[in-house]
A and B are shown apart, each in its own frame.
Chain A
Amino acid sequence: MAEQSTAGWVGTNYRRKQDPRFLTGRGRYTDDIDLPGMLYGAILRSPHAHARIKSVNVEAAEKLPGVIAVLTGERAAQMCEPLPAVIALPGMRLNKSHAIAADKVRWVGEAVAAVAAQSRYIAEDALELIEVEYESLPAIVTIEQALAPDAAHLYEEWGTNVAMEHAFRTGDVDQALHEADLVVDESVAHHRYTGAPLEGRAVLADYDRITGELTAYISTQAPHQCRTLLAQILRIPEQKIRVIAPAIGGGFGNKLQVYDEVTPCLLSMATGRPVKWAESRSENLLAGVHSRDYVCGLKIGFRKDGTILGVKAKLVGNVGCDGTNRAAGIGALAVAAAYIPGPYKITNYAVEVTGVVSNKAPYGAYRGYGKDVANFPMERVLDIAARKLGISPREIRERNFIQPDEFPYQQCAGPVYDSGDYPACLRRALQMIDYDRVREEQARLRAAGRYIGVGFAAMLEPSGGAVPNCIFNGYEAATVRVTPQGGVTLLTGIQDIGQGVETTLAQIVADELSISPEDIKVIFGDTAMVPYGLGSWSSRGAAYGASCALMATRKVKDKILKIGGYLLKTRAEELELKGGKVASRDNPSRALSIAEIAKQLYLFPGPYLTLPEGLEPNLEATAYWTSPVVRWAPDEQGRLSIYTTHPSATFAALVEVDVATGHVKLLRFVIAHDAGTLINPMVVDGQIHGGVVQGISGALWEELKYDEAGNLLNPTFQDYLVPVAADLPDIEVAHLVSPSPFTPVGAKGMGEGGAIGSPAAVVNAVEDALAPFGVTIRGMPLTPERVLSLIREAASAPGARAAG
């Protein structure tokens, strides 16, 4: 156990309370839970990207011994409602889809039928016996195809494939570009990849036909939203649904939806027995949510010295078949529009965003949720512009950074930035990577025909988001309860998905009550136990989760002092809570422990103890926290502010490129990060390490590749390349601490940042390594083939530089 510092438990590397369960195989993930009479579910998925369903024949499947129920889309449609929109902002087109398709399929992997059987083996056998007749339709895979005038429409009733349009402008961009010494006009693309948590989606649904009650164990980041959505979809009164999210084997944003999650519930309703469905890896990659997949054009005007005068952005995202109903992925594009200015002082800004549908898997949340979309193009184009201006990548960023004395900073697109020291992050990262020495080394190695490169990216990590008219709403709840023995439970709407809130929230409560985290049990992931809360996404645990836990604890502390004062016959103001005891400031020997007070209160309450007027016989309180800076009503310029805190960082990558094979080797990766007050530095480091590696992996290896017929070419871990330890160096992290003035703890969050800035850092490093070849990188992943073709293209370009 970490020692408690004099300042308390916050800030210490308190060892995680949940670890022993996971280490001994007692994690109890959804798939680990078995119920009496349980059946196994399996889902048949469309092999077509775009097709009409002509007929579904389930006769043979139904006859297979051990099969208890088979659901077609048609049967399912009678049992439930279409999937409601989970985000509905102005300018968005919504669709009418069902958990199981009945008339049309829109991506390879869409559910068309489902089976419940006595074993998973039998259920999967039965899928093979289902015959579906399709009439295929033209597959729309790319943005160009989706926008072509004669394109087939995924949703005929729309008359277009455009699912979202959004535009915003402030200042006078055209004038700014006109006045600029240099205008850089670049278009960069980011391919499709996703979180691929090691545990896929999983549901164990248990419907009781007599009571009409449903208990559903779901691997989800947001149990309450699941309950609300299931109630609407399944037509079950919400009080009759209990969603339990036990241990979650990773989420990264990919477990914030309800579509395939409906199917096991339907199977349980159809059979009256518990039904478990744990998806296979191919299902996860084919039919789970995807992310990124956009093209962003940036037109930026600079002064000679690198000062940005104005930015015009045009962002087009390929949201696959759905970014509004199955999952709220499309909102990421709007977030990107708000954050393209990033950590830089930009006053003239215009952005146009388009989201188009295509016959690919649904678009969901994934670590970054648009902040990554904002980051990569800007950090990429700054490097390209620096080269054109003949200044260093460092100088161009330093020239434009918002300065530490300018906070709170009203950014031009609406957000209010809380605090930070962006130049200091940059300096620190360069120091860590030993920038000057690396440059010397680079020159020396180049002479020997070896190509190393260093690249960096500054990053902003807006956290604690609150999106209007969306399941990603903006409050959180916590209840703190003292037991008659003086122990404490914290009930939170935040979900532990690996990020460790079971421990870090206990640290917060412990400090406030001057007890040990050991004496605190954190309860989460059960809608029958915890107050309605919104779960884990947008790195909101530190802002929302910690804040409401602190507020609830303060209320309980107040009660403890009042009741302690009553029992000690001392005014509460003369007392303090220290070492788990209420004691008189003047006479510390007049003291009662929390346990003594709790025992008196709970076991001898009311008239027997005769509590003073206004005090209830409990040591319990619930508190809600809403962000003081989120603003949903547009200001006079039409701007919203939807994020609470703004952690920041600079990332730096050192790579070596083998120009003969195209292989990129990552030599070092460092990050100087500012997440405000650190609740548990060890946990913070871990979050950053993991996020960084996902971003690196996106830049170098991971890509969900579709062919022109809309087939996903790599739906297994054999060919969707997720890194192993040998592919990577240690991730080195340093912390700067600018506490947030907008949260009571000063913490900002840090779950996503790692994945936001790392792709740009890696790509910038590779381009730097290949500078002698005159390579400009506008896309990823940087596979050996791509690197080699970049070198070839640069060599054959007019005015190509010779490598040397």
Chain B
Amino acid sequence: MSTITVTVNGVVYREEIEPRLLLVDFLRDNLCLKGAHIGCEDGVCGACTVIVAGRAAKSCMMFAVQADGVEILTVEGLAQGARLHPIQEAFTEQHGLQCGFCTPAMVLSTYQLLARNPDPTAEQIRRGISGNICRCTGYTNIVKAVAAAAVKLRGAKASDAS
């Protein structure tokens, strides 16, 4: 057993865990944060994506012990109370989700993409979310949602600045 201390969505957790425990299972089972989903456990589908130390990471590809001392953002940390994050709003407005299973991870990949590139082209969006599989939407509306989210976030930034 190992003891780790992680900060998830601003809350500090200290937990005793088996060294072989995957980060995704730690988040889901120990912390009951069910927004990270398991679609392959193979590092391909991206459904388990969370933001680890500022970077999108596939949490099925990490052991929880590797997250010791690190800050993690999961989808549960995005909305403010009942108010959706602009990316989440854009996804519902553009119908960028159907069954919703890929959605938390898509939203977080978008979060990283737009943090790095606030005004991506459609091509860049497609490449930026290609670590995430969606089996339902065919991606057309996800691409639209990401573009719409970019507009919203740029608008928010501009009004913050003024």
B-contacting residues of A (Cβ < 8 Å)? 13, 15-16, 18-29, 31-32, 34, 120-121, 195-200, 247-252, 278, 280-281, 497-500, 682-683, 685-687, 689-694, 716-718, 722, 724-728, 730-731, 754
The closest CB in chain A to the CB of B43 belongs to A718
Inter-subunit contact A499/B98 (CB<8 Å): yes
In the bound complex, what is the Cα–Cα distance between A25 and B59 (angstroms)?
Answer: 15
Task: Report chain B residues within 8 Å CB of A281.
Answer: 39-42, 45
* CB-CB under 8 A for A25 and B75, given A19-B91, A247-B100, A689-B138: yes
* CB-CB under 8 A for A724 and B33, given A248-B99, A692-B138: no
Q: Residue among B39, B103, B140 with the most chain A CB within 10 A?
A: B140
Q: Top 3 A-B pairs ranked by shortest CB distance?
A: A25-B35, A22-B100, A498-B99
Question: B53 within 8 Å of A by Cβ?
Answer: no
In the bound complex, what is the Cα–Cα distance between A342 and B114 (angstroms)?
Answer: 46
Task: Report chain A residues within 8 Å CB of B92.
Answer: 15-16, 19-20, 23
* CB-CB under 8 A for A197 and B103, given A16-B92, A25-B74, A717-B44: no
Q: List 6 A-B contacts (CB under 8 A).
A: A15-B92, A19-B97, A24-B78, A196-B135, A724-B139, A727-B130
Known: A196-B135, A722-B45, A725-B142. 10 other contacts (CB 8 A): A19-B92, A21-B100, A22-B104, A23-B91, A32-B34, A250-B99, A498-B136, A717-B133, A722-B135, A724-B131
In the bound complex, what is the Cα–Cα distance between A694 and B92 (angstroms)?
Answer: 22
Inter-subunit contact A498/B38 (CB<8 Å): no
* CB-CB under 8 A for A23 and B93, given A689-B138, A718-B42: no
Question: A204: shortest Cβ distance to chain B, in Å?
Answer: 13
In the bound complex, what is the Cα–Cα distance between A31 and B41 (angstroms)?
Answer: 14
Inter-subunit contact B97/A23 (CB<8 Å): yes
* CB-CB under 8 A for A728 and B40, given A22-B100, A249-B100: no
Q: Residue among A197, A694, A717 with the most chain B CB within 10 A?
A: A717
In the bound complex, what is the Cα–Cα distance between A599 and B125 (angstroms)?
Answer: 52
In the bound complex, what is the Cα–Cα distance between A691 and B138 (angstroms)?
Answer: 7
> How many B residues touch A, CB cutoff 8 Å?
59
Inter-subunit contact A497/B99 (CB<8 Å): yes
Inter-subunit contact A690/B100 (CB<8 Å): no
Question: A661: shortest Cβ distance to chain B, in Å?
Answer: 20
In the bound complex, what is the Cα–Cα distance between A710 and B39 (angstroms)?
Answer: 25
Inter-subunit contact B127/A199 (CB<8 Å): no
Question: B20 within 8 Å of A by Cβ?
Answer: yes
Contact partner, B138, options A34, A499, A728, Cβ 8 Å: A728
Question: B144: shortest Cβ distance to chain A, in Å?
Answer: 8
* CB-CB under 8 A for A724 and B37, given A15-B92, A22-B100, A23-B103: no
For residues 119 through 140 of chain B, which have their beta carbon under 8 Å from a beta carbon of chain A?
Answer: 122, 125-127, 129-140
In the bound complex, what is the Cα–Cα distance between A18 and B44 (angstroms)?
Answer: 27
Interface of chain B, main secondary structure: loop
In the bound complex, what is the Cα–Cα distance between A198 and B42 (angstroms)?
Answer: 13
Contact partner, A198, options B34, B95, B101, B142, Cβ 8 Å: B101
Inter-subunit contact A24/B42 (CB<8 Å): no
Task: Report chain A residues within 8 Å CB of B36.
Answer: 25
Question: B150 within 8 Å of A by Cβ?
Answer: no
In the bound complex, what is the Cα–Cα distance between A150 and B140 (angstroms)?
Answer: 51
Inter-subunit contact B98/A690 (CB<8 Å): yes
Inter-subunit contact A722/B133 (CB<8 Å): yes
In the bound complex, what is the Cα–Cα distance between A18 and B101 (angstroms)?
Answer: 12
* CB-CB under 8 A for A689 and B101, given A24-B75, A716-B44, A724-B130: no
In the bound complex, what is the Cα–Cα distance between A197 and B101 (angstroms)?
Answer: 9
Contact partner, B139, options A19, A200, A248, A693, Cβ 8 Å: A693
Contact partner, A15, options B44, B93, B99, B142, Cβ 8 Å: B93
The closest CB in chain A to the CB of B134 belongs to A198
Inter-subunit contact B84/A24 (CB<8 Å): yes
The closest CB in chain A to the CB of B94 belongs to A682
Task: Report chain A residues within 8 Å CB of B107.
Answer: 23
In the bound complex, what is the Cα–Cα distance between A313 and B66 (angstroms)?
Answer: 60
The closest CB in chain A to the CB of B131 belongs to A724
In the bound complex, what is the Cα–Cα distance between A705 and B32 (angstroms)?
Answer: 38
* CB-CB under 8 A for A24 and B79, given A19-B97, A29-B37, A724-B132: yes
Inter-subunit contact B45/A198 (CB<8 Å): yes
Task: Report chain B residues within 8 Å CB of A27.
Answer: 34, 100-101, 103
Question: B143 within 8 Å of A by Cβ?
Answer: yes
Question: A763: shortest Cβ distance to chain B, in Å?
Answer: 19
Inter-subunit contact A198/B79 (CB<8 Å): no
Question: B16 within 8 Å of A by Cβ?
Answer: no
Task: Report chain B residues within 8 Å CB of A249.
Answer: 37, 99-101
As a 0/1 sequence over residues 41 to 61 of chain B, the CB contacts with chain A under 8 angstroms (1 = contact) are 110110100000000000000
Inter-subunit contact A22/B44 (CB<8 Å): no
* CB-CB under 8 A for A199 and B44, given A32-B34, A682-B95: no
Task: Report chain B residues within 8 Å CB of A686.
Answer: 95, 98, 136-137, 141
Contact partner, A689, options B42, B76, B140, Cβ 8 Å: B140
Q: Residue among A717, A725, A730, A754 with the most chain B CB within 10 A?
A: A725
Inter-subunit contact A24/B76 (CB<8 Å): yes
* CB-CB under 8 A for A726 and B127, given A24-B75, A24-B79, A716-B42: yes
Question: A281: shortest Cβ distance to chain B, in Å?
Answer: 4
Contact partner, B129, options A13, A498, A499, A725, Cβ 8 Å: A725
Inter-subunit contact B141/A18 (CB<8 Å): no
In the bound complex, what is the Cα–Cα distance between A497 and B93 (angstroms)?
Answer: 19
Task: Report chain B residues within 8 Å CB of A717.
Answer: 39-40, 42, 44-45, 133
Task: Report chain A residues within 8 Å CB of B122.
Answer: 730
As a 0/1 sequence over residues 100 to 112 of chain B, the CB contacts with chain A under 8 angstroms (1 = contact) are 1111100100000
Task: Report chain B residues within 8 Å CB of A693.
Answer: 138-139
For residues 74 through 96 of chain B, which have their beta carbon under 8 Å from a beta carbon of chain A?
Answer: 74-76, 78-79, 84, 88, 91-93, 95
In the bound complex, what is the Cα–Cα distance between A23 and B132 (angstroms)?
Answer: 15
In the bound complex, what is the Cα–Cα distance between A724 and B138 (angstroms)?
Answer: 9
Inter-subunit contact A23/B37 (CB<8 Å): no
Task: Report chain B residues within 8 Å CB of A248.
Answer: 99
Inter-subunit contact B101/A29 (CB<8 Å): yes
Inter-subunit contact B136/A731 (CB<8 Å): no
